[in-house]
Amino acid sequence: TPKGTCLESVKIAIDTGYRHIDGAFVYFNEHEVGQAIREKIAEGRIKREDIFYCGKLWNTCHPPELVRPTLEKTLKILQLDYVDLYIIELPMAFKPGDVIYPRDENGKFIYHETDLCATWEAMEACKDAGLAKSIGVSNFNRRQLEMILNKPGLKHKPVSNQVECHPYFTQPKLLEFCRQHDIVIVGYSPLGTSRDETWVNVSSPPLLKDTVLNAIGKKYNKTAAQIALRFNIQRGVVVIPKSFNPQRIRENFQIFDFSLTEKEMKEIEALNKNVRYVELLM
Ligand code: A2P
């Protein structure tokens, strides 16, 4: 995003009432997010404890000895003392180093063999040190979650798993598994993400054009986006909609003044196509 866009957007979001901010080192805007939070604290609008900031451990930093220094780097960029949640961004590891997407001469990703359980133990140590209030994972399937949950000597289990989740990809099985284990699902791309062909599977139709979502929206005087968000929060899935547009940032927050009927929830659930927009082909 152009310089300053993220700073402005986060400040508008906080003024609107958002408190959960989903970030990552690889978004390369943590300095702007941190500045927005600090400015709003200085203004007296919020206190640090009102904000819930989620940071992420990137693929090149899975070796256990890199976990704490990586989080410390994020805290330095944010200029904050702790993150509320720190998560392993992806279950696969890349070759450690300064190159974020390391590739060989044939353009293939250079992976790195690490033990996710050892990475998790380093995450636990970050929580024990107070650098992260809670720890979790992202893009983990059931088997990968079970590896952590069944780890001998597990000290802290993952509190959340951030995965793609919206009416065209409702995640019924993973959601049920996570419910059983008290793991919160945080749904990314809750609006069906952007239509950027460089990383989005655009063969799946745009979510917000869906006729069912739009028809239900009409009834409540809401947009398809608001219906898609309401659907997830009403079934206990946290949503992290992304927008850099002030009007849409506000629109995405106006979802607490109505509720969908059971029949409407079922109708929306039936839209599931089991197709991802974010295929993560790596
Ligand atoms: P913009 O930043 O111009 O608002 P997701 O949260 O699923 O990743 O989707 C993000 C995409 O959806 C962005 O391209 C964003 O563009 C767009 N978007 C965000 N909120 C809305 C909304 N209320 N209506 C339509 N598009 C939206």
* pLDDT 10s digits, 71-109: 999 999 999 999 999 999 999 999 999 999 999 999 999
Spatial CA neighbour of 120 closest among 181, 57, 180, 77: 57
Among the atoms of ligand 1, which is closest to the Cα of residue 241? Answer: 6
| CB 278 near ligand 1, within 6 Å | no
Task: Answer yes or no: are the C-beta atoms of 46 and 10 closer than 8 Å.
Answer: no
pLDDT value at residue 282: 81
Class of the CATH-defined domain 5-158: alpha beta
How many Cβ atoms from other residues are within 10 Å of residue 206's Cβ?
A: 15
Three-class DSSP category at 186: strand
Q: How far is CA 115 from CA 59, 91, 149, 277, in A?
A: 12, 10, 14, 28
A 10 A CB-CB count for 273 gives 12
CA–centroid distance, 216 to ligand 1, in Å, is 19
Q: 66 alpha carbon to ligand 1 midpoint, in Å?
A: 34
pTM to 2 decimal places: 0.97
Mutate to test the pocket of ligand 1, among 18, 191, 251 (most ligand atoms within 8 A of CB): 191
| Cβ-based burial of 249 (10 A; exposed 0-12, middle 13-18, buried ≥19) | buried
Most distant CA atoms of the chain, gap in Å: 55
243 lines ligand 1 (CB under 6 A): yes
Beta carbons of 134 and 159 less than 8 angstroms apart: yes
- Taking the alpha carbons of 9, 14, 20, 23 in that order, is the dihedral positive or negative? positive
- Give the residue numbers of the binding site: 112
pLDDT digits (tens, 9 = 90+) for 125-169: 999 999 999 999 999 999 999 999 999 999 999 999 999 999 999
Each residue's pLDDT tens digit, 54-79: 999 999 999 999 999 999 999 999 99
Is 27 in the active site? yes
Residue 145 to residue 91: CA distance in whole angstroms:
10
Short-list 57, 10, 14, CA closest to 35: 10
Using a 6 Å cutoff on CB, does residue 245 contact ligand 1?
yes
Euclidean distance between CA atoms 235 and 252, whole angstroms: 17
Residue pointed to by tokens 């952590």: 148
Residue 242 Cα: closest atom of ligand 1: 6
Task: Kindly list the domain boundaries of the chain, sorted by start residue.
Answer: 5-158
Question: Ligand 1 in contact with 248 (CB < 6 A)?
Answer: yes
Q: What's the confidence (pLDDT) of residue 274?
A: 93
Q: What angle do CA 273, 275, 278 make, to 5 degrees?
A: 145
DSSP letter assigned to residue 113: -
> Is 242's C-beta closer than 6 angstroms to any atom of ligand 1?
yes
- State the pLDDT at residue 1: 76
List all residues 6 or more positions away from 183 whose beta carbon is below 8 Å from its beta carbon: 136, 145, 157, 158, 159, 160, 161
